[in-house]
Amino acid sequence: MNDSSNNVRSLLSKIHAFLRAEVYPLEQEFLRRPFRELLPTLNSKREQVKALGLWSPHLPEEYGGLGLKLSEFAHVSEELGRTPIGHYLFNCQAPDIGNMEVLMTHATAEQKELYLWPLIRGDVRSCFSMTEPEHPGSNPAWMSTNAVKDGTDYVINGHKWFTSSAEGASFAIVMAITDRDASSLYKRASQIIVPTSTSGFRIVRNISVMGDEGSDYASHAEIRYENCRVPQTNLMGREGEGFLIAQERLGPGRIHHCMRWIGICERAFDEMCSRAAHRELSPGVPLGSRQSVQEWIAESRAEINAARLLVLHTAEKIDAEGASAARLDISLIKFFVAGILQKVLDRAIQVHGALGLTDDTVLSYWYRHERAARIYDGPDEVHKVVVARSILGKYGVKVSL
């Protein structure tokens, strides 16, 4: 085992111990109380994470992070995923983690000072505003929000929804059309930073998802941009690079998501096995004595292990060759791991019976919130077609999306 592997193992052990001692005991409060009421406690835990030297583990060392490769951070994301508040406490929650990554690469020095460094310090939250209710999210080239130049400003008009974590965010990174006549559909849009205090930025509502409108911890907002005026210096990268920048964040972002899902699977698996071992059907007869339960446990163990290996293989490929070389692998993990997540959660709830439907465990929280895994960042069906089309193309078959 090399020094890097030893360092990652030591890091994971430290994170695991902290979560067990300091974070798991907070979960019931998190599930039952408004996020704002719990915020002072969570901020105290965030300070503990900083004191332990574990803050923003995804970032390069020059930005205050741990300098981990994507394949190394994948293990961290899995460990943090075992609790609903793990990523938040370590400052690597979505969408902030993706926004940090693109700001590091594409922001100007002034933009970094205004937006990136406050994110890194954990002083602010951010959101990413791309999906529109009038157009299918699986076709990101089709959007209506536009940014028109007026003097030294952009004036933005449009309608977005599922702008995650907009409530409580200090700024949004907005995808908007800046050149409707560009030769390529994929060069029409740009990414522009919009402070949420800007006149014309209006949160219409937090969309209720599975009965939960969320909060400034996790919400999905509908937003109107109504003559929203920002300086042209808020353009991130160059005009027409919006889709290129979005694609750059999707590869690593899907690694983050998939390993977080595997962390959820591991926690659900542990809860399922514990319940099967200790819940008695009759005196001295544990639930785990039933063959159907044993099959769920065996199948879950195999599927989680397979999912982890597939994601780590993809992360290592991105580290070695870049996200573009791993395009099909990224699609594979997106639909495969999302499917495993649904299976494992469903089995765990079934083993818990009626208890699994309550908020006395974290299972029902994840079941509600993670059904979206098969939809966001591209629905399963689109990723399957991408993979199949590539494979069949080698046999001379043309398959269109």
- Here the tokens at position 67 are 């300098």
DSSP H/E element including 158: strand 153-164
For residue 83, which phi and psi values (nearest 5 degrees)?
A: -135, 145
DSSP 233: G
**Residue extents of the structural domains in the chain:** 3-107, 126-236, 244-393
Correct CATH for 244-393 of 3.40.50.720, 3.20.20.10, 1.10.10.10, 1.20.140.10: 1.20.140.10
Given a cut of 50, the residues of the chain with pLDDT beneath it are 1
**Which class does domain 126-236 fall in?**
mainly beta
What is the structure's pLDDT at 151?
97
Beta-carbon contacts of residue 352 (< 8 Å; ≥ 6 apart): 271, 272, 275, 361, 363
Question: pLDDT value at position 1?
Answer: 43
Give me the numbers of helices (H) and strands (E) for the chain, helices first please: 13, 10
Q: What is the pTM of this model?
A: 0.94
Question: pLDDT value at position 51?
Answer: 97
pLDDT of the residue at 400:
64
Which pair of structure tokens corresponds to residue 90? 């370590």
* The two domains 126-236 and 244-393 share their CATH topology (first three levels equal): no
Q: Tell me which CATH code domain 3-107 carries.
A: 1.10.540.10
**If DSSP codes are grouped into helix, strand and coil, which group holds residue 201?**
strand
Separation of alpha carbons 59 and 45, rounded Å: 20
213-242 pLDDT tens trace: 887 678 899 999 999 999 999 999 999 999
Q: What is the 3-state secondary structure (H, E, C) of 334-401?
A: HHHHHHHHHHHHHHHHHHHHHHHHCCCCCHHHHHHHCHHHHCCCCCHHHHHHHHHHHHHHCCCCCCCC
Q: Say what the pLDDT of residue 6 is.
A: 86
